[in-house]
Structure 1
C-alpha cells in the first residue's frame, strides 16, 4: 500500500511539471512583451516615434495600423510638428515647351529631382503620369505644395460657324487625382484692355492651404506710369486686395513676379533695379 501511495505523486507530478513550465514560459513571454506594450500604449511616446517616420508616405502606412494610430497621425498639432521636422522636399519641375508649327501647341513634362529615396517613387510616378486633360492647350501659371494653377485655351462656337477662343483656369492636384479639378473663376480684366501691360498668378501658404493672388498692371495716361492691382481669390470670387499707382520705369514685359513676406518683387529694368509692392504700400527696395 505504501508503494502504491508513494507512486501517486509520481503519476501526478509529471502532469504538473509541463503546466509549471508553461506558466514559466508565459511569464517570461509577458515580461518580454510588457516593455513593447508600454511603448505602444503611451500616446506621447508613440507620437515621438511616429514623428521620426521621415516620409509622409511612411506616416500614411502607420496610420493604417489601427484607429489609435490613425487619430494620432491625423492630429493637427502632430502634423504641424511633423512638417517642421520634415519640410516638403522638392520632387521636381514641370517644363513646358511650345511648338509653333503647324499650329501653336504646348507640352508639359515632369522632370524629377534626382536622386530620390525609394519611399517617394510612387509619388514621383503620380506627378509624372498625371492627366491634365488635353495638355496641348494648357500652361502652368503657378505650382506649390502639389497644387498646380493652370490656364487653358478653350474654343467656343458662336453663331454662323464663328469660333471664339476663351481662357479657362483651374487648380490640379496630381497627388490627389480623386479630388478632380477646382475650376477658378475668370481673371479680372483691366479697365481698358488696350492698356493692360502684363499679369501674374502668385500663391502663398496660409493655414492648411494656399491663397491665390492675381497681379494686374495697367498703363496710365502719363509716360512711364502704371497702376498695379492685386486681387485675392476668396471662395469663388476675385476680390480687390490692394492697388497702387507707381511713378517708376515700367517693368519688363513678361516680368518675373515673386511674392515674399507679403511683398511683391518684380524687375523694373535690365539694370536689375527692383521695386517692391507691399500689401499696404509701394516703395523701392
Structure 2
C-alpha cells in the first residue's frame, strides 16, 4: 500500500494577507525591516514600492541610522608609487551583485583622474592642461556621477617660498588640496602650499568656500630632516588640523585655526618609520597605524595629545575575505585608500 504524505496546510490567503499587513502597516516594524537591508541599492528598490515606504526610506534620521549600520564599502585599493612618475594601480575588490555595476563605474572613474583627495564619495581631481605653460585646473567629481564635474577657482599663488631660505641643501615646494566637511557646500576645500629645505618648512593656508578663497595666512617652523623624507611623508587632514609624519620621533601638526605649527610625540615604544600611517577617526582625535609584517598595531590620540593602544590586527584574518586580485609589489608602493 502506498503511503500517503500529509500536506502541510498554511494559513488561508485572507489570514496571511492580514498578518502581512499588520507587520508592514506598522511604521516601527517597517523601519526596523528596512534598516536590515544589506545594500543601499536594495533600499532604493524598497522605496519604489509605494509613497509610504519612500517617506520612511528618505527620512534623514532613518538614513543616518542606515549609514551607521551599513558604512560605505571599500570599492578598490589605489596603489601609488613612492617615487615621482611611478605607476598608479587600481585594484578592484569584488562586490555583491547589487553593487557590482556601481563599483565598476566608480573604479573606472578612479583610473581616469589624478585624485588629490577623496571624502564621502567626492573626488577632488587635478586636470593637467595639454599646454605645459598653463596651470593645472581642479574640480569636484562624484564617484557615481562622473560626468557632473564642478570646476574650482584657480588656487592663489604660494607665498611660502619667501619664508624659506634657499641654501646649498636645496629647496622644494608643493601644493596640496583637501576636501572639507562644510554643511551643504560640497566644494569647500583647503589649499595648503608647503615649501621646505633641510632646516625649516613654511606653509600658506587658504580656505575655499562658496567659490571664494579666504585671505592667506603663513607660518614657518624648524624641520631638520632630508628633503626626500619630507616629500614622501604621510599626511592627513583631520578637522582643523593637518598632520605630517617626520623622521625625528614626532608628528608635525599644523593648526589651521591659529595658523601655527605644533608637535605631537609618538606613542611609547613606537619609532619613526615609513610603515607608520595616519587614519581619520569617526569623531575626534587621530589614529596611528604601525605595520609589522602581517600585523597592524592601532593607536588613538585624543584631543589632549594622549595616546592609547586600541588593537592589534592580523591583516590575513581581517582582509582575507576581500579576495583582492593577487598582485606582487616591487617594494616601493604604498596604499592611499
The SS at the match of 2:64 is helix
Gaps of 5+ in 2: 1-10, 165-171, 265-337
Please point out which of 256, 260, 263 is paired with 1:284: 263
Please point out which of 229, 235, 241 is paired with 2:210: 235
Please point out which of 79, 91, 96 is paired with 1:117: 96
Greater length-normalized contact order (CA 8 Å, ≥ 6 residues apart): 2
1:197 is the counterpart of 2:173: yes
TM-score, normalised to structure 1's length? 0.70
Partners of 1:252 and 1:130 in 2: how far apart?
Answer: 30
- Aligned positions of 1:72-221 closer than 5 A: 72-95=56-79, 110-114=90-94, 116-130=95-109, 135=112, 138-156=113-131, 164-177=133-146, 180-191=148-159, 197-207=173-183, 211-218=188-195
Give how far 1:57 is off.
1.1
1:256 is the counterpart of 2:234: yes
Cα RMSD after superposing both structures: 3.3
1:265 is the counterpart of 2:243: yes
**Matching residue of 2:21:** 37
Please point out which of 21, 41, 55 is paired with 1:57: 41
The SS at the match of 1:164 is coil
Q: 1:58 to 1:272 in 2, by over 3 A?
A: farther
TM-score, normalised to structure 2's length? 0.61
1:149–1:170 contact (8 Å) kept in structure 2: yes
Give how far 1:264 is off.
1.1
More helix by share: 1
Q: 1:280 to 1:110 in 2, by over 3 A?
A: same
Aligned pair count? 239
Partners of 1:38 and 1:144 in 2: how far apart?
Answer: 41
